[in-house]
Structure 1
Amino acid sequence: MAIRDRLAVLAAEQGTTIEELVEALAAAQPTQAEYVLSSEQARAELASALGAAPGGPAPVLQELPGGPLAAAGPEEQVLQAAAELGLDYTVRVQQAGQSVWDKLRAHQGGAAARS
């Protein structure tokens, strides 16, 4: 089945057009610039909440699939990433991190809704 035919089937199943289907797909995937902006906003939010900004992107975000953090459980990943950033993983850090993730998710949802 050709790509255009597949898109037509998918669009018909969803009660939309190919153009609207492709627009929704493009809106759901952030660009590299949007990732950079989100990272900068997250770092600023952490700096505001913690009084200091991490020196760069969290190692867990830069790690290749299958690396040492991927083998660890979620709690262990958080503790390792915090240690590599020189942070004590306290309740305050956990709450600040959750706040940043909530804001990033809201931003991503808002970007999709605007398209």
Structure 2
Amino acid sequence: MKKILIVDDEPNIVMSLEYTFKKNNFEVFIARDGLEALEILKTQQPDIIILDVMMPMVDGYATIEQIKNNPKLTHCKVVFLSAKNKQQDIDKGLELGANLYVVKPFSIKKLVEQVNDLIQ
């Protein structure tokens, strides 16, 4: 079973993503901020991480830097999901190693397709 870690501080987004990915046969892990995500990543190695940029404690940019520096997570794909839609924000996310940058609001159906494409 494919594993996904969803990292977002917006409960509505987390709930809808969790429901949708479970329905698509993913094992789903949830973190409300970057700190919680990094704790989960000590024991889990998901195939893909969906990561918000603007979060309390540790933001998405700092979180992906930690992920990319962890040899156990080199196989892991990262998708930024953010309301930050300026080109410089998108460029920064991709430069830090994200495989994809999706701007909110977004289509869940399309996101699931993109995630499946990334981990094929």
TM-score (norm 2): 0.26
Higher strand share: 2
Greater CA radius of gyration, 1 or 2?
1
**Greater RCO, CA 8 A, separation 6+:** 1
Higher helix share: 1
TM-score (norm 1): 0.27
